[in-house]
Chain A
């Protein structure tokens, strides 16, 4: 398709699409275009028809084997019928039918589970729909990207995903990641100029990019989906299902401060100008003002805050009708706080911005740590406009801003900055910072017409305007209250053995009080600085080992070797990294990973992205997080609630525990299933467990094992340290020993006791059974003698055998019943855990009913070679089941009594 949109003049382009750069499309036109072109989305690859998916489950590898088995059974039966006519035995027919029933039942089960899972997964996708900020009918509105139509005017900020193929009308420092389209790994700069005929090369086009994330694995285990669904209910969206399990074994959580630990609901709290700290008045009618609203220092500061600010109110009338503080804004939270503050005190901010048009802008980035914009000044004084037509306004990290200034605006005059002012600045900065407030510095400069006459072409790429020797205006500090649930959540993490590290772009002075409040540095631990202050000695005299907590500045971190970082992480349980760049966040994550920890990185900003990718699991904030964050993250906290992570960890651990329990349960039936065959082959004892009964045991085992997935967490789940992924694996030696050792043995013993008893009761004493296999199995021996010299035909002893097998089967099922109950917990008493797992309870009842049906229903049992068993032969199994319960309760009791003791080391799996 040929595109010439990038070659057209802007005016022609507007005409072509019937749009206007200021007002955008009208709603009716947009609707028309939408109806014409359809949604703005890539046509998704054709989804497979349901019946094909169904067949997948019916004819998978394993199912295929069963089908072949069934067909072979039918063929054999066919031969038998042809050869022996009505005398043919129907065993093969029944086995074939049983196999087919099993394939169909399990196939349908997995198909429905899969369909359910993919429905859940699909619903996840629609939970965080990508949105685009556009102008329609002259108003800024957020819409879903699919609703975009040709001609819409789109605004994009840092970290946004390009929502469609767009022509750039106006841009400031706009760079796009085109790696998805062209393979260029470096971000490409984009601007309104037409530079190349090639649509990919020209600078004035940017393309819809998807940053394709990995699809969900084809085989989604029920377990993970269930948990993901459970988490989604708690507003914790799992994008990558394996992430749930990873979260469970997380041992270090690195959290960005802003928006993650704090509410990201910034309000301006204090200002410093004219060398005094004043409390900001954020009341609706400015009744609390503690300063004079006409002093030049304050006016200059607020002007800077108005202009050097990209935040804007959402333009729908409903929002605008709200009180200022409750209005929703576009843009960064701290800018929104400034906006609200100045809207309250000065008013008419948007209008002011429109008259003082922005001509150039360098957006905030973490290397510069400042944001600067240049505005055409509008005042009544024409001569002033002519002499100094442009105003440069800058805000950013205070110390960086101060560095760029040569003068400071005090009481309406510019004063040269000297040590006195620097000291005053530092004191104010420290004071505000120690309140845990986020401090921004502001400065400006009127550009003279000599160097920058009216119409001067500012270029943000090759900075052709001064960024030094500016005039310092003052500080504004914002408070970002802690999220309510954070201290509790961090305490929970800590008791769960998870280290929480704060990694923030804020100044150490600001970061420390917040981390104290959040509990990242607990109340009674001290940093080196605290010790020095308390003891009244200099920092050098304090042994760094004495301090359990530390606050590391990004610059110090930069200077550290990996070994030093390792030592730092190892020696300090409580660490805050302040003033960190995205690169340093990676360093922190890498350092943690080097320690063998599983690291989760939580962040909301683009600056957290690299670290989130580097970490084992990246977690994004759903509301404050940028599109890119949500795109990259394995998990999204939809309600931005840090406490959800604790739930996530709990669920992750629960999954692991429950899988372990499931596996343990499944393994326990191995020994009792194997023993009969070993005895058959090694000792020639007639088979104590038949194929159809094994089939039944396996069927019940699978159902029961699945029911364990629904088991509730044990009480200690968040009190034990995270598992060590290297040593504490899903299946370990202790688990194998426990399941195959005592538990397997008791079950096998119960089964064998019942088997030998029934055999003996019917005349075959155990001594007679040894080595009997050959004659027993021969259809041609019709007078096999038992211990009472009675003679048994093949049919008679097969009936006896099937009766014994049924009893063995029932014994195992009853024992497995007890095993299922003991597998509910690994450490807790079952009395404490209770029987709240409804699915598991259902399975227990189902098992008994099923066994009773196959054993006592006349025709069905005979067809499956399962015969009625006298109730007294249920007793040994019932006794064993009781024994299993007691044995394991005692074991768990001793484990609880002697933590870390021999029994725990040997048997706690």
Chain B
């Protein structure tokens, strides 16, 4: 390891430890707001903004989402050699990525007035229907193999197939168990494709090759109608042909788990 390159990790792809158990790298999947590294629980009282005694208000969650989204504002991405990737095939983009360029993730897609998941609306936390941010882990050199036709799709998406799907990693959230599913009445997704019924990450954001100012694509899950005063285990999964799901409690990849308690 005599001299370590500061930007290219010595081990990547299949030679990395990322790939050990699964024999190919498999991206992790994450959510925000997560206010403690010790738990994955989003629990608050929608009538309070501030925390008060044992009762947690929604303020901390909003602040974290604000902070997180601030990374994507223009002021913060000044070091990014951003390029507009709309409609450009990945084959053309890939060489540019290795030159340090990366696609611009337009944060404004969440700022359209019709979207509920905006800071002006407190991400709907005060309404008891929280928005949760989802993102894929950055793995150097990893690229998804997206679904190319309806036949390749998992069963539940087949009806939704459009040719656009072939450019996207798909995301869907569900109650982890039937009980949980029972309390989730309606979910909407806000992301680039804006289908609302399903979340997506555009494949042009990967491969990630440690470009300066790189920003991961995001998806907002909007729990439009859920049961209150009840614990709901939520599991969100990312879908592509080369994303495996490990639902083991400790060793989770390709999916993310969190709990919601809205009082």
Contact = CB atoms under 8 A, between A and B. Distances in A.
B119 interface: no
Nearest to B7: A788
Contact of A788 (B140, B246, B250, B256): B140
B231 interface: no
A782 B247 contact: no
Of A761, A763, A783, which is in contact with the most chain B CB atoms at under 10 Å from its CB?
A: A783
| Interface-centre pick from A785, A790, A798, A867 (highest chain B CB count, 10 A) | A790
A762 B252 contact: no
B15 to A, nearest CB: 9
B9 A794 contact: no
Contacts of A798: 250-251
B248 interface: yes
Contacts of B246: 795
Most buried by B among A775, A799, A800: A799
A168 to B, nearest CB: 85
Contacts of B7: 788
Given A760-B4, A761-B1, A803 B21 contact: no
A708 B140 CA distance: 50
Contacts of A418: none
A587 to B, nearest CB: 74
Interface string A780-792: 1111011111111
A791 B28 contact: yes
B137 A87 contact: no
Contact of A790 (B40, B138, B249): B138
A793 interface: yes
Contact of B37 (A757, A781, A785): A781
A762 B30 contact: no
Contacts of B11: 761-763
Contacts of A88: 249
B38 interface: yes
B137 A791 contact: yes
Given A761-B10, A763-B9, A791-B28, A783 B250 contact: no
Interface residues of A, number: 36
A89 interface: yes
A791 B249 contact: no
A469 interface: no
A226 B208 CA distance: 65
Contact of B38 (A778, A791, A800, A862): A778
Interface in A77-110: 84, 87-89
A795 B10 contact: no
A782 B9 contact: no
Nearest to B41: A780
Interface in A729-775: 757, 760-763, 765, 774-775
Contacts of B112: none
B57 to A, nearest CB: 21
Nearest to B248: A87
Given A762-B16, A774-B37, A778-B37, A84 B249 contact: yes
A854 to B, nearest CB: 16
B1 A794 contact: no
Contacts of A780: 34, 36-40
16 contacts: A87-B247, A89-B248, A89-B249, A760-B1, A778-B37, A778-B38, A782-B29, A786-B9, A790-B140, A790-B208, A794-B250, A795-B21, A795-B246, A796-B17, A798-B251, A800-B17
Shortest Cβ-Cβ A-B pairs, 10 listed: A793-B28, A795-B251, A791-B137, A783-B30, A800-B17, A778-B37, A761-B10, A788-B9, A763-B9, A799-B20
Interface of B: 1, 4, 7-11, 16-18, 20-21, 28-30, 34, 36-40, 135, 137-140, 208, 210, 214, 246-253, 256
